[in-house]
Structure formats: structure tokens, C-alpha cells
Amino acid sequence: MQNTFQNESSREEMELKKNISSALDKKIELLSKLYKDHKISLDEIAVILGIEKREIENIFTNRGFMKKKRILVGGGAGFIGSNFIYHMLEKYPHYEIINYDVLTYAANIDNLRAAEKNPNYVFVKGDIADYEALSKIADTGIDAIVNFAAETAVGRSVHGKAADFIHSNVVGTHTLLELVRNYKIPKFIQISTDEVYGTVDLGEDRYFTEESPFEPNVPYAAAKAGGDMMCRAYANTYNVPVIVTHCSNNYGPYQHPEKMIPRFIHKAMKNQSLPVHGDGLHVRDWIYVRDHCEAVDLILHKGVMGEVYNISADNEVPTIEIAKMILDLIGKPYSLLNHVPDRPGNDRRYSIRANKIKSELGWVPSHTFIEAMPKTVEWYQHNIDWVDKIKERDQDFSNFI
């Protein structure tokens, strides 16, 4: 008898759920028609249904009411680009991400093996300075470009490779601007660095804002500043919809071991000495890479075209402290610290504020250094083969440090 009652009530529950779901279906269909006729916005639909806007886009895309958004990510096989691609694939299942990368020594397509299984991910090998190759993709429609592609190793720019930096960071950026202009691509986010602002002294009460003048001190920073200036000029002259971001130093998984943090971790693990430039008191402002990705995502969706946004986690740390922290985390002695001659043109300190993105777009970094550094060290400890493979492939990279 009890079983009969139970069966009866679960049948009723199922019936109720079916009715609710079909009422919701009808509501969604009605709202999609209003949206198509431009009678309601996605924000209003989000309020009516009580869910996030991106979930509505996802539902509309799955039901064929909306086309998938296509985002071209320049330099997606590099450190920040690959983290950004994972961030976007996880958060926006209704976007198609085209990773456009020429695969320099700094790229590592292995970073994206997991992404390759995702039908929303496409890789195209190409140079951002190659207009013809880019226009083949633009012919099929692009909703936005987020450009991480650049030559990024300061040491290489100092030790004889500056021409490569001008090619990717200036000519490449200009080529993308031409593409955006000619194809009327709605959004272009150019990822730049705080290094364009130059340096401040230790203890000096001054920091970089979006209004700070460009005072680049090394060829890398000068080439980035050249690309950024071109963005400014294209926004002003042709109304090209472009935003430039200036971020501080990133740390996290997938960073090439020519860069300081992965290099120090790898050396400490192998009981090799950690080469610290000069007195080790150079200060950089460190941000966890996923916080940077979150900021770029926010700027892509809510940023105002023509604007510039600084990104930082207010975390200035001297190099020597980073080196000691890594040795502590790995359990190795400070006797591994080795002061080597300073690099020519080495900036003393970067100090940057991200007040604008915080107050205007509501961004806050969600990782602290104390919590994300051990996570980063652990990632490299678990992926030592990943680092060894790069080191084997690029025998010469220590010549440029």
C-alpha cells in the first residue's frame, strides 16, 4: 500500500517538473523572440529569469537563437594566452576560441592539449603581422580579438634580438589594427605591460596610473609602447574600437622557464644556484595569472572602447624575497642564492595602481600571493618534465637571461 502511495507521489512530482520545464521553455522562446526583435536586452532577460547573462547566451546559442561568439586570441600558445584560453573555455561554453599563434620558441602547444578536446577550440598557426592569413579568418567572422602575441623576454630584447620585438609588438599590433578597421571587428583588446611607464625609485612615493607618460627603458618596453601608441592613434584617427591594458608581472602555470619564477623553482629543485640580478632589491608587482585573465575577461565584456586600464594586485616584492620564498617552499638553503651582474637597463621598481578597473568595472583580484605562490611552486614541481622538455628544445635560452 505504502509503495502505491510513493509511486503516486513521485509520478505527481515528475508531472510537476515536466510542467515547470515546459513553462520555462515557452518563456525562453518568447523572450528570445523579443530579443531578436530588439524589444528586450539580454540584461533585462537576465533579471526576468534570475540568472547570469552569459548563461542566457549559452541557452540561446544551444537552442540556435543566437550565433556562437568567435574570439581570436593572438599568442594563445604562450603563458598568459594559454591560461586565458582555459579561462574562456571554462566560463563561456557558447564561445568559439581561435588560438592564432606563430609558435615562437616561447610558445608551447603542449599547454593546450586538454583544450584540443574541446569542440569550441581551434588552433591556427600564423603571424599577427601577416594580414592575408588573418583576413582568411576574418572572412569567416570574428566578434573580438584579444592580443597576447608579442616577443616578451626583456633579456632577449637587450641582447641583440630587438628587431623581432619591433616585428611582433609594433608591426604585428599595427596589422591587427588594420584588420579590425577594415573588417569592422567590434572589439580589440591589446594586452600590454606596466613596463611602458618606466621605473620608479625604491621608497619613492610615486606610482603609475593610466595617465602616466610612457618612459620605456629597454627595447621590449619600447616596442610594447610603440604598439600601444598605434592603438591610441587608430582609436583617435579611425575610431577603431580598441582597449589597451597594462598589467604588472604575472606568475602561475605554463610560464616559460626563461622567466624568473619558473627558472628559480626549477633551479632550486635541481640544487642549482639561483642567479639574482645585482643586489636583488629590484621590485616587481606580482599578480596571479588567472586574476589577470579574469580582468581581461571583464574588460572584454564591460570595458569602454578607446580606454586604457591598468591591472595589478598591489603586491610589490623585491626579487631577493621571491628567491628566498621559493627556497623556503622547496626546502632548500639560502646558500643557493647567487648574485650575478645586473642586466643593462634593468628597471629598479614597478609600482602600478589598478584603481580605475576596480572602481569602474568592479574587478578585484581573488588570489593572494601567500596562497597562490605555493600553488605555483607545486605546479612546477608536478610538471618538471614540462620544464625539462622546453629546456632540451631551447638549448640557447640561458644566453639571454
In the block, residue with C-alpha cell 605591460: 193
Identified catalytic residue from 220, 234, 251, 350: 220
- Residues in contact with ligand NAD, counted by CB under 6 A, come to a total of 30
Q: How far is the CB of 132 from ligand NAD (least distance, A)?
A: 13
- The residue from 59, 71, 85, 102 that contacts ligand NAD (CB under 6 A) is 102
Identified catalytic residue from 96, 101, 127, 195: 195
In total, the chain counts a number of residues equal to 401
**Interface positions, 60-79, toward ligand NAD (CB under 6 A):** 74-75, 77-79
Measured CA to CA, the distance from residue 202 to residue 212 in angstroms comes to 18
In the bound state with ligand NAD, the residue whose beta carbon lies nearer, of 32 and 193, is: 193
Residue type, 119: P
Which three-class secondary structure state does DSSP give residue 258? coil
- For 238, phi then psi, to 5°, come to -115, 5
Whether 139 sits among the annotated catalytic residues: the reply is no
In the bound state with ligand NAD, the residue whose beta carbon lies nearer, of 95 and 350, is: 350
Q: How far is the CB of 151 from ligand NAD (least distance, A)?
A: 6
Whether 195 sits among the annotated catalytic residues: the reply is yes
Measured CA to CA, the distance from residue 356 to residue 202 in angstroms comes to 24
Measured CA to CA, the distance from residue 13 to residue 400 in angstroms comes to 68
Query: Is residue 250 involved in binding ligand NAD (CB under 6 A)?
Result: yes
In the bound state with ligand NAD, the residue whose beta carbon lies nearer, of 57 and 194, is: 194
Q: What distances in angstroms separate CA 354 from CA 23, 88, 188, 237, one per listed residue?
A: 45, 22, 20, 27
Q: How far is the CB of 149 from ligand NAD (least distance, A)?
A: 3
State the cell numbers at 387.
Answer: 620544464
- The residue from 193, 217, 310, 319 that contacts ligand NAD (CB under 6 A) is 193
In the bound state with ligand NAD, the residue whose beta carbon lies nearer, of 60 and 79, is: 79
Identified catalytic residue from 194, 294, 297, 316: 194
Whether 194 sits among the annotated catalytic residues: the reply is yes
Query: Is residue 249 involved in binding ligand NAD (CB under 6 A)?
Result: yes
Query: Is residue 247 involved in binding ligand NAD (CB under 6 A)?
Result: yes
**Interface positions, 201-240, toward ligand NAD (CB under 6 A):** 224
Measured CA to CA, the distance from residue 250 to residue 194 in angstroms comes to 11
In the block, residue with C-alpha cell 603581422: 129
Query: Is residue 288 involved in binding ligand NAD (CB under 6 A)?
Result: no
In the bound state with ligand NAD, the residue whose beta carbon lies nearer, of 148 and 234, is: 148
Query: Is residue 256 involved in binding ligand NAD (CB under 6 A)?
Result: yes
**Interface positions, 127-186, toward ligand NAD (CB under 6 A):** 127-129, 148-152, 168, 172
Helices (H), 1-118: 2-36, 42-49, 53-62, 79-91
In the bound state with ligand NAD, the residue whose beta carbon lies nearer, of 107 and 327, is: 107
In the bound state with ligand NAD, the residue whose beta carbon lies nearer, of 75 and 280, is: 75
**Positions in the binding site for ligand NAD (CB under 6 A):** 74-75, 77-81, 101-104, 106-107, 127-129, 148-152, 168, 172, 191, 193, 224, 247, 249-250, 256
Residues labelled as active-site residues = 194-195, 220
